[in-house]
Amino acid sequence: LLAASNGLHLMRGRWVEVDRERLEQMLDEFQAVETAAAKDGLSFGEAMRLLAGAHVPGDIVADSAPDWSSVVAGPWLKKTLAGLRDPAQLAQLDPGAALRATLRPYQQAGVRWLHLLSSLGLGACLADDMGLGKTMQVLALLLILRKTGDASGAGRAASRPSDDETRRASLLVAPASLLANWAAEIERFAPTLTAIIAHPSAMTGAELKALDRNRIAGVDLVITSYGSLLRVPALLAMPRRLAILDEAQAIKTPGAKQTRAAKQIDAQARIAL
């Protein structure tokens, strides 16, 4: 058809109008998607754009899906979308005896939802009312991630901490007044989690300055304040498994220094509480 001229052409017993320029543009887009999928697979975001009838190669969203095409979710994506819509239907996740508490049904669903989003590299905003156990859900998630991470990393030779080993440590940022509360909750409900508080209230200036990959090797959680993000460059220099922002309204002002600092955290996934 591309070799033909514009106009009407007989195809399979039907006369169809051929617009060579539009046809070539469409084929170029299909080819770009096919090449990307063959090389790296489609990202979750790209797959969602396709399902929404959007053009993947750019930021232009189609007004409506063309009537000559159809995009459907394959088995994995269909199952993933169903889990996002109804987390209660996701497979049960058990932090085991390491969590010294019993999760309520809605907390179990919350942990499954957080785990699914973080495994996809997507951000989450957990906005349960005060007293409904956001901290407990985060601790359960960290225990589950540690358990699965230990299983996948078994047998690794001892050496200088790699990026993967360093990234095992998640970073929790909270107002300075809540750092002790987090430490107490970990001690009470998840004492096997190894956590350090990177803050002048718990470390000397020399210790904060010396914070590096070797210092956090084997640590599950680094706890710090929004102010310390600005004063301790090492906190932003290392990759993290999760970035967890407690009382996340602290970064509601886009131009604020602590907002810009929080956005620089290198993490596989981010959770706002």
pLDDT tens digits, one per residue of 141-161? 999 999 887 544 443 434 444
Query: For the residues 225-249, what does the mean pLDDT come to?
Result: 91
**For residues 239-262, average pLDDT:** 94
Reduced to 3 states, what is the DSSP secondary structure of residue 247? coil
Average the pLDDT over 171-176 and give the result.
95
Q: Cα–Cα distance between 8 and 162 in angstroms, integer?
A: 62
Q: How far apart are the first and last CA of the chain?
A: 55
Give residues with Cβ within 8 angstroms of 175, minimum separation 6: 225, 226, 246, 247, 250
**Helix-then-strand count for the chain, H and E:** 12, 8
What CA–CA distance (Å, rounded) separates 210 from 212? 6
Q: In the prediction, which pLDDT does 264 show?
A: 93
Distance CA 235, CA 199 (A): 11
- Asked if residue 242 lies in contact with residue 269, where contact means CB atoms within 8 angstroms, the answer is yes
The confidence band for 83, taking pLDDT boundaries of 50, 70 and 90, is: confident
Cα torsion 46, 40, 111, 262 to 10°: value is: -80
For 16-38, write each residue's pLDDT tens digit: 888 888 888 878 877 877 787 78
Q: pLDDT tens digit string along 90-135?
A: 888 889 899 999 999 999 999 999 999 999 889 999 998 887 889 9
Q: Report the residue count for the chain.
A: 273
Quote the percentage of the chain above a pLDDT of 90: 41
Q: Which of 109, 99, 128, 140 is nearest to 242 (CA)?
A: 140
**Which pLDDT score, from 0 to 100, does residue 155 have?**
39
Range of weakest confidence among 31-40, 54-63, 156-165, 192-201: 156-165
- 244 near 250, Cβ under 8 Å? no
Round the average pLDDT of the chain to a whole number and report it.
83
Which of these, 262, 265, 157, 169, lies nearest to 214 by C-alpha position?
169
Contact 189, 100 (CB under 8 A): yes
Element (H, E) at 171: strand 170-174
Task: Please state, in angstroms and rounded to a whole number, the distance separating the CA atoms of residues 83 and 90.
Answer: 6
207-226 as b/e, with b when 16 or more CB fall inside 10 Å?
ebeebebebbeeebbbbbbb
Which pLDDT score, from 0 to 100, does residue 218 have?
82
The residue-averaged pLDDT of 52-62 equals 56
